[in-house]
Amino acid sequence: MKQQLSYQMGGDLSAESYDSIEKFVFSDLQENLLFKRKSLDEHYDYVMSTLDDYYLGVSKYVYGNILQAIKAIVNCKINHLKTPVKSRAIGFLHQEMRFSPAIIQDILLLFDVKIGIPQILKDSGKVFANKPVPAWIQRFFGGVN
């Protein structure tokens, strides 16, 4: 599991206690937002300003994308925006980064944003349904969807 996390984040983890990317993100956000009282923007700036390409042993660019996705979801929910950006951000966290709906929900609760697990799955499903069919599937099935 730690090798998978290392692969997903683009480096070796310095914190041995994390066995998944979602646990690392939740713990780091909890520490920086609740205990150190940073805003999401301040934390993003801090992560991206590190001199190395890594933040706590993980790719700062991948982690920065995760923070931007969280920021997009939070902004859409707080401002009641009806935009596909929220669904895409949820789809990114759920499908690309392999976050469980429960962890996505827990992360969003750090910002007092409530999204139910069924809604997370629905938004992620919308993104998945709109993805283009991979070329290898089209070649295998002869273009039949």
Quick: pLDDT tens for 38-65. 999 999 999 999 888 999 888 999 999 9
d(CA 93, CA 67): 10
**61-to-11, 57, 69, 101 alpha-carbon distances in Å:** 11, 12, 12, 23
Per-residue confidence (pLDDT) for residue 13, from 0 to 100 = 41
Instruction: Give percent of the chain above pLDDT 70.
Output: 79
Say what the pTM is. 0.79
d(CA 56, CA 42): 16
Residue ranges of domains in the chain: 2-141
Side-chain half-sphere exposure of 120, counting CA atoms within 13 A? 23
